[in-house]
Amino acid sequence: MLKHRGFPGRLPGTDYQFTIRRANPKGATPLTARERYRDRRPADKRADAGFLRAIWECFGDAPFERGNLDAGRLSWLFGREVKPAEDPFDPESYDALLRLDPEVAQATFPEVFEEQSP
């Protein structure tokens, strides 16, 4: 499992986790697209925006390996802002390649892209 050096471990000042410490011996938790409803808590929305900002700052729109990125946090963005970068895609692999879709991400989280660009 690749550990992304320099990637924040969590949203500052919260317990919202962005990375995991070690690989699960039973295999990676599968990535699944989770439905985001309008009534999500503001803190959850900030965590999504913070995670997306970290992805944008570290990888831009280049393909990146899933590695130690938290499956739960990735699943909130998977299928929309973060998409598979390979075919066939294995959602249960730490080696799976993903890619940020900047157009979708900017439409959904404009505040992330207003502040800076890579």
Each residue of 35-94: pLDDT tens digit? 988 888 988 999 999 999 999 999 999 999 999 999 999 999 999 999 999 999 999 999
The reported pLDDT for the residue numbered 116 is 57
In a domain, 74, yes or no: yes
DSSP structural state of residue 90: -
**DSSP H helical ranges for 7-101:** 42-59, 71-77
Quick check: is 6 in a domain?
no
Half-sphere exposure of 87 (CA within 13 A, CB side): 0
The pLDDT of residue 10: 86
User: Does any domain span residue 37?
Assistant: no
Closest to 52 (Cα-Cα) out of 95, 107, 93, 91? 107
pLDDT: which is higher, 38 or 117: 38
In this predicted structure, the answer to whether residue 117 has a pLDDT above a threshold of 60 is: no
Judge whether 67 lies within some domain.
yes
Strand spans (E) along 5-65: 64-65
In a domain, 9, yes or no: no
Residue 84 is predicted with a pLDDT of: 95
Tell me what pLDDT residue 97 has: 95
In a domain, 55, yes or no: yes
What's the number of domains the chain is made of?
Answer: 1
Q: For residues 40 and 58, what is the distance between their CA atoms, to the nearest angstrom?
A: 26
> CA-CA distance, 98 to 103, in Å (whole number)?
15
Q: What is the pLDDT of residue 13?
A: 82
Q: Tell me, what's the pLDDT at 26?
A: 85
Asked whether residue 29 is domain-assigned, the answer is no
Between CA 94 and CA 70 the distance in angstroms is: 10
Peptide bond before 91: cis, by omega within 30 degrees of 0? no
The whole-model pTM stands at 0.87
User: In which domain, by residue range, is 58 found?
Assistant: 42-115
- 114 or 19, which is more confident: 19
106 found inside a domain: yes
